[in-house]
């Protein structure tokens, strides 16, 4: 839990300059209405089938075999940008221009986070000197609690995600 002493000690030791803001505080990066738009956009993208199964090369009888994972993902970002992971190149859904309407909410979120990063760096928050804080893509992973296989999911019902109630599932 972010309010625990263990969280604070870990952040101080491992993530120097880490800034955590409560979403309900005035002047935070993400206004409540934007959080609602992003949440609706993510759900819309899920319903529209925009998240795709990730494929890994898993060993099978001593040979690598393309195997789907339980995680589905989507890449969104600047038009034309790609992401390469384990030899698989993924093209981003453009979050501007001709991109799908739900993806535009993620561009708004990106712009809000970049703006807030600039404010925090200008105010002396963070670690070291101010560096680049522009993000040109976002990779979003989706794991539904009922889709996990090969492991137990531990649910945290009623968890708060930026002020929006959600259900989280963690595979152990």
Q: How many CB atoms lie within 10 A of CB 102?
A: 22
Please check the confidence at residue 172 and state whether its pLDDT lies above 60: no
Q: What is the reported pLDDT for 161?
A: 42
- Worst-scoring range by mean pLDDT, 89-103, 117-131, 149-163? 149-163
Higher pLDDT: 143 or 37? It is 37
Please give the Cα distance from 169 to 172 (Å, whole number).
10
CA distance readout (Å), 122 to 11, 42, 117, 119? 21, 31, 8, 5
The answer to which of 19-23, 83-87, 168-172 has the lowest mean pLDDT is 168-172
Task: Give the dihedral of Cα atoms 9, 114, 29, 72; nearest 10 deg.
Answer: -80
- What are φ and ψ of residue 164, in 5° steps? -105, 125
Total Cβ atoms within 10 A of residue 117: 19
pLDDT for 61 beyond 80: yes
Confidence class for position 68, pLDDT limits 50, 70, 90:
confident
Q: DSSP label at 151?
A: S
Reported pTM: 0.71
pLDDT on residue 140 = 92
State pLDDT tens for residues 116-128: 888 888 877 766 6
Average pLDDT for residues 75-91, to the nearest whole number? 86
Q: What tens digit of pLDDT does each residue of 12-55 get?
A: 888 877 777 776 656 666 788 898 999 999 999 999 999 988 77
Q: Write the DSSP symbol of residue 90.
A: E
Only one residue has tokens 């600039």, namely: 118
Segment (H or E) for 112: helix 101-122
Residue 164 has pLDDT above 60, yes or no: no
Which residues are bridge partners to 16 per DSSP? none
Percentage above 90 pLDDT, the chain: 26
CATH code for the domain defined by 29-171: 2.60.120.590
């Amino acid at each position: 839990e972010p309010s625990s002493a263990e969280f604070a000690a870990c952040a101080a030791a491992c993530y120097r300059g880490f800034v955590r803001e409560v979403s309900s505080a005035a002047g935070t990066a993400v206004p409540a209405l934007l959080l609602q738009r992003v949440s609706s956009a993510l759900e819309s993208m899920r319903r529209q089938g925009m998240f795709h199964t990730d494929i890994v090369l898993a060993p099978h009888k001593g040979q690598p075999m393309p195997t789907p994972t339980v995680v589905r993902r989507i890449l969104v970002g600047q038009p034309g940008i790609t992401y390469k992971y384990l030899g698989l190149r993924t093209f981003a859904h453009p979050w501007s221009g001709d991109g799908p309407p739900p993806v535009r909410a993620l561009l708004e979120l990106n712009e809000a986070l970049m703006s807030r990063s600039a404010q925090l760096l200008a105010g002396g928050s963070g670690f070291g000197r101010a560096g680049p804080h522009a993000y040109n893509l976002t990779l979003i992973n989706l794991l539904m609690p009922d889709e996990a296989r090969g492991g137990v999911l531990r649910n945290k019902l009623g968890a708060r995600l930026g002020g929006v109630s959600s259900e989280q599932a963690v595979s152990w």
